[in-house]
Structures are given as structure tokens and as C-alpha cells.
């Protein structure tokens, strides 16, 4: 095999499933194209597991929103003197 041909992978085709995180939080999840909804089959539904860049970015937006909600819900502690 010459250097111009890629080496065969263990699994050459990508299979996917809907991201459970995005499905739970995104009200427009059903309107996304399938490639933007899917994550790699063996993943836990993280942003980097998305098969498309749009899916990755939308997932990150919802993760940031969740983090902001959690940080706003935490009580602020008084600063020591």
C-alpha cells in the first residue's frame, strides 16, 4: 500500500444515534438535520462525539447555558477580611 491510501480502520463507516443531552435540552432538536443530531455510537453524548460541526457547536451552547445556571444558583460567600 502506498502513502496516498489511508489505512483501513477497525470500523470504516460512522454510525450514530441521537444525542440524549441535546434531545433533552433543545426545544428545536427534532428540526435539526439527522447528521446534526447524531453522536458516535460508542460515546456518552459529549460535544466532541457529534458527527457534525453544527451539532458540536449547538451542544456546547447548551453545556455553557447549563453551567451558567449552576453557577448562578450557587450562593455567594462573603469575602474574608
Higher pLDDT: 5 or 65? It is 65
pLDDT digits (tens, 9 = 90+) for 19-46: 999 999 999 999 999 989 998 877 677 8
pLDDT digits (tens, 9 = 90+) for 1-14: 555 665 655 555 56
Domain that residue 52 falls in? 16-72
Whole-model pTM above 0.85? Answer: no
Q: Would you list the DSSP string of 3-65?
A: TTSPPPPSS-S--EEE-HHHHHH-TTGGGS-HHHHEEETTS-S-GGGBSSHHHHHHHHHHHHH
65 occurs within a structural domain = yes
Domain total in the chain: 1
1 occurs within a structural domain = no
3 occurs within a structural domain = no
Amino acid at each position: 500500500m502506498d502513502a496516498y491510501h489511508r489505512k483501513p480502520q477497525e470500523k470504516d463507516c460512522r454510525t450514530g444515534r441521537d444525542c440524549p443531552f441535546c434531545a433533552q435540552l433543545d426545544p428545536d432538536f427534532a428540526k435539526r438535520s439527522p447528521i446534526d443530531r447524531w453522536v458516535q455510537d460508542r460515546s456518552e453524548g459529549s460535544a466532541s462525539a457529534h458527527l457534525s460541526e453544527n451539532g458540536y457547536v449547538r451542544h456546547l451552547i447548551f453545556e455553557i447555558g447549563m453551567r451558567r445556571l449552576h453557577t448562578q444558583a450557587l450562593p455567594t460567600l462573603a469575602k474574608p477580611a
